[in-house]
């Protein structure tokens, strides 16, 4: 049974995705920490701005869906 699962493509896709979900944020934090002062501050602010834009866009899309549902 276990040997069959290890040969499946979906299993390795899930494993690779989980590794990326864990590693990418750690690499981003590491890069921010090794940058000199003005650059790490600018990058941190840019990340917060992008986060806010993404959240606003998500809320806008959800409100459009809700308006469409109501008529």
Could you tell me the residue range of the domain that residue 54 belongs to?
37-71
User: Tell me, what's the pLDDT at 58?
Assistant: 97
Task: Please give the helix or strand (H or E) that residue 55 lies within, else none.
Answer: helix 37-70
Model confidence pLDDT, tens digit, residues 17-30 = 999 999 999 999 99
pLDDT above 90: residue 48 = yes
Find the mean pLDDT for residues 34-43. Answer: 97
43 with 71, same domain? Answer: yes
30 with 42, same domain? Answer: no
Number of domains observed in the structure of the chain: 2
Read off the pTM.
0.72
Find the mean pLDDT for residues 32-42. Answer: 96
Find the mean pLDDT for residues 6-34. Answer: 96
The set of residues, in sequence order, having a beta carbon less than 8 Å from that of 35 and lying 6+ positions away, is: 43
20 with 44, same domain? Answer: no
User: Tell me, what's the pLDDT at 71?
Assistant: 75
1 with 30, same domain? Answer: yes
């Amino acid at each position: 049974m276990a040997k069959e699962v290890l040969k499946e493509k979906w299993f390795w896709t899930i494993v690779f995705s989980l590794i990326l979900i864990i590693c990418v944020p750690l690499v981003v934090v590491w890069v921010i920490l090794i940058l000199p002062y003005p650059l790490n501050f600018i990058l941190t602010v840019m990340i917060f701005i992008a986060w806010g834009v993404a959240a606003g866009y998500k809320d806008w899309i959800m409100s459009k869906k809700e308006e469409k549902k109501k008529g």
